[in-house]
Amino acid sequence: MRLSVTKEQMEFLETLGVKDRDYTKEEIDEIIEGPVSDCLMERGWKHGPDFEETNEIGDMCEAIITALTKDR
């Protein structure tokens, strides 16, 4: 199945090495648990003592995770 993301989200995913093609549910889980979660944890937070607030990258990662898990 194709990834149910917007064009902007797909362009962001491509920067993480994710191609625009058909995927199995297991492969989609790997995308969520791999490059998207890694990006969120590494680059998705505003600097501060507790890293409580996401930045633009974090917002994008969270939106992609939501889009890819909404049909479950």
In this prediction the pTM is 0.92
Q: Are 54 and 44 in contact (CB under 8 A)?
A: yes
- Contact present, 44 and 55 (Cβ < 8 Å): yes
37 in helix, strand or coil? helix
Q: Is 55 helix (H, G, I), strand (E, B) or coil?
A: coil
DSSP state of 34: I
Residue spans of the chain under pLDDT 50: none
Confidence at residue 72, expressed as pLDDT on a 0 to 100 scale: 74
Instruction: Report the run of H or E that residue 63 belongs to, with start and end.
Output: helix 56-69
Instruction: Give the model's pLDDT for residue 49.
Output: 80
